[in-house]
Structure 1
Amino acid sequence: MTHPFDATLDAPRSRLLELSQEHGASLASLSTLIGRNASYLQQFIKKGSPRKLEEGDRKVLAQFFGIAEAELGGAEDSVREKSYKGGSIDPDSSGWVEVQRLAIGASAGPGTLPSEETPFDTFRFSRRWLSEQGLSDAKLSAITVEGDSMEPLLNDGDEILVDRTERAFRDGVHVVRLGDTLMVKRVARAGAGRFALLSQNLAYPPIEVAADELEIIGRVVWKSGRI
């Protein structure tokens, strides 16, 4: 027999759903933010499992949204934390790493000229999650995908996390610069001194270029987008 949720738990669930919608943050991305599997908060809200958020998870979410923990089921005397936008939380002491969002787009279409690489905001990722992904020492930045050539893997408007750490090249999805054009493509070796830039959308033909014509900016290691 299925029992109705305790009334005291309905408010935190409703509040979390409301906050995710207000901030344009999917439940899957918030689950990732606290180091959980992508369906964790969806199950919390829709199925009541877990019945309440763990203290550490609740604290991280409260800091992210800039609210009192009490709104997510914490004690009423919880101190209200300022949101990450205020820059008041020390990443070193809170278990967070700030990743700059750059005011540029990487074309997944014919190609676009990048604007100035100026940070305009930040994402916060838990150190634990970055470590689990092998990214604890990575040089990371976030940019926006433009165009449809990488669909369905990457959609127009998705934000991608780019690891700009200098590493030995291996085939995969990368942000590259070809001339004055910044683009995101699957990059593969195409023989001595040459690379192939491949699109997921088969409407776009492969592009083959010489290695000295191409600058590999970084490897795409994560994406975030609306469902």
Structure 2
Amino acid sequence: GIPQGTFASMKKRNSIPYAEILEFCALKKISVNWLFFYQAVDMLKEETEKFFQVRYFSDIRASAGGGAEVFDENYETISIDEKIMHNMVGMGNTELEAIHVDGESMEPTLLDGSIVFVDRTQTDINKNGIFIASTTGGLFIKRIQQRVDGMIELISDNSMYPPQAVAADEVTIVGKVVGNIESL
């Protein structure tokens, strides 16, 4: 160790050997924050838990018009503040994914270029809302209803776009849109 007098002298001369201290802490598995600030590791954990990690598929667009590509494994992780997330999606599932809206068929609810947050655990179309649907024609963002004849109806909010009927076996519900951020 470094004697207290020597350390005080180093501090005055602004010559504290930080590299050696970091190496020592790593070797002994000691938290640098604990050493310098008496801050326990669990205190640090509380700070980092105030953000949710969201998988953001920046190159995927859910078509609000004519169909887009399906989800792939090319994503980046973004951090969303806990308070914003809870305001947007409540206290439910925090394992969300984010994609872009492409097209105007869901306006005025969702604008072209907006980012939507998708909860893949919510796939029950009998509950109202907007869903991401994967079809043979691509990825769509629509309101979805099952018709009496068994067909699935993809419904736009923009009245300029008529509903589309698709066979139930040609549709996979990817998840429910639980929040959005409008394009800036």
Q: Same fold (TM over 0.5)?
A: yes
* Shift in Å, 1:156: 1.0
Partner in structure 2 of residue 225 of structure 1: 182
Partner SS for 2:121 = coil
Partner in structure 1 of residue 51 of structure 2: 96
Partner in structure 1 of residue 108 of structure 2: 152
Partner Cα distance (1:132, 1:108) in 2: 21
Letter in 2 for 1:100: R
* Shift in Å, 1:129: 4.5
Partner in structure 2 of residue 206 of structure 1: 163
* Shift in Å, 1:191: 1.6
Question: Are residues 107 and 128 of structure 1, via their aligned partners in 2, closer, same or farther at CA, if it must alter by over 3 Å?
Answer: closer
Partner SS for 1:212 = helix
* Percent pairwise identity: 32
Match of 2:141 among 177, 184, 192: 184
Partner SS for 2:65 = coil
Partner in structure 2 of residue 161 of structure 1: 117
* Shift in Å, 1:92: 7.3
The alignment covers a number of residue pairs equal to 140
Partner Cα distance (2:73, 2:182) in 1: 21
Question: Are residues 182 and 117 of structure 1, via their aligned partners in 2, closer, same or farther at CA, if it must alter by over 3 Å?
Answer: farther
Match of 1:216 among 166, 173, 179: 173
Question: Are residues 175 and 135 of structure 1, via their aligned partners in 2, closer, same or farther at CA, if it must alter by over 3 Å?
Answer: farther
Partner Cα distance (2:137, 2:47) in 1: 37
Tell me if structure 1 keeps the 8 A contact 2:69–2:138. yes
Partner Cα distance (1:143, 1:94) in 2: 23
Tell me if structure 2 keeps the 8 A contact 1:172–1:188. no
Q: Which runs of 5+ in 1 are unaligned?
A: 1-88
Partner in structure 2 of residue 137 of structure 1: 93
Query: In terms of Rg, which structure is larger?
Result: 2
Write out per-residue CA displacement over residues 129-163 of structure 1, whole angstroms, 9 at most, x where no aligned residue: 53884343343100000011111111111000001
Partner in structure 2 of residue 194 of structure 1: 151
Question: Are residues 128 and 113 of structure 1, via their aligned partners in 2, closer, same or farther at CA, if it must alter by over 3 Å?
Answer: closer
Tell me if structure 2 keeps the 8 A contact 1:106–1:184. yes
Runs of at least 4 residues of structure 1 off by over 2 A?
89-94, 112-117, 127-139, 166-169
1:113 aligns with 2:69: yes
Tell me if structure 2 keeps the 8 A contact 1:100–1:123. no
Partner Cα distance (1:165, 1:131) in 2: 19
Relative contact order, higher structure (CA 8 A, sep 6+): 2
Letter in 2 for 1:101: Y
Partner Cα distance (2:114, 2:183) in 1: 8
Q: RMSD of the alignment, in Å?
A: 2.8
* Shift in Å, 1:106: 0.3
Q: Which moved more, 1:214-223 or 1:114-123?
A: 114-123
